[in-house]
Amino acid sequence: MSDASRAKKSGIGYQIEQKMETSYDQLEQDGTPEAIRAWIQAVLAGDEEAGSLKSSKQRDLHEWLKSGSILCKLINQLLAGIGQPPVSFKKKAPNTFAAFGNIENFNNGCTAYGMKKESLVQSVDLYEGRKGPFVNVINTLHSLGMKANANGFEVMYCGQIERYLCDN
């Protein structure tokens, strides 16, 4: 659903959305989205789709991640590192249903990897790509990076550790 077809938020909903957008802006200023982009691309080195993103701007990250296929490739690499089976996914997600299935499979893989359910991404936050709720996607990927570091994955995630609680 595009922002144009949505009713404008007001009251507490508006305040929450504004606070989330401010949180995203702070993460962007701290370099977290760039650290996430660089880490994913390092983990998926050689993957054409993963290498296609040149910017860590919110809109670009959203377009790159929204089908869920990059996320599934990422979690499959991490799962292989601990001897767990990969999650299935559709490489091309031609519709919302397929993308939501990929995102759900990514979340299932994160759970198998040891992340807490509270740390998982909500499909709508990723798929719609609104700046405020997208902060949740960034937080999920940051937590996953921290978990990968704790699990000894060979490609280290270099996001800011001191700002977050990790799932360790």
pLDDT in tens, the chain (168 residues): 445 555 666 677 667 677 767 767 777 777 788 999 999 999 999 888 888 888 888 889 999 999 999 999 999 999 999 999 999 999 988 899 999 999 999 999 999 999 999 999 999 999 988 888 888 999 999 999 999 999 999 999 988 754 444 444
* pTM of the predicted protein model: 0.83
Does domain 13-150 sit in CATH 3.30.70.100? Answer: no
User: H or E segment at 114?
Assistant: none
Domain residue ranges of the chain, discontinuous segments joined by +: 13-150
pLDDT of residue 132: 80
Task: Quote the CA–CA distance of 35 and 41 in Å, as a whole number.
Answer: 10
- Model pLDDT, residue 1: 45
Nearest to 36 by CA among 119, 127, 116, 156: 156
Tokens of 113: 């990897």
Q: Which two tokens stand for residue 152?
A: 């000894």
Burial of 89 (0-12, 13-18, 19+ CB in 10 A): buried
In this prediction, residue 44 carries a pLDDT of 96
Can you give the pLDDT at residue 167? Answer: 43
Distinct helix (H) and strand (E) counts, the chain: 8, 0
Taking every pair of Cα atoms in the chain, the longest distance, rounded to a whole number of angstroms, is: 48
- The tokens for 63 are 């377009």
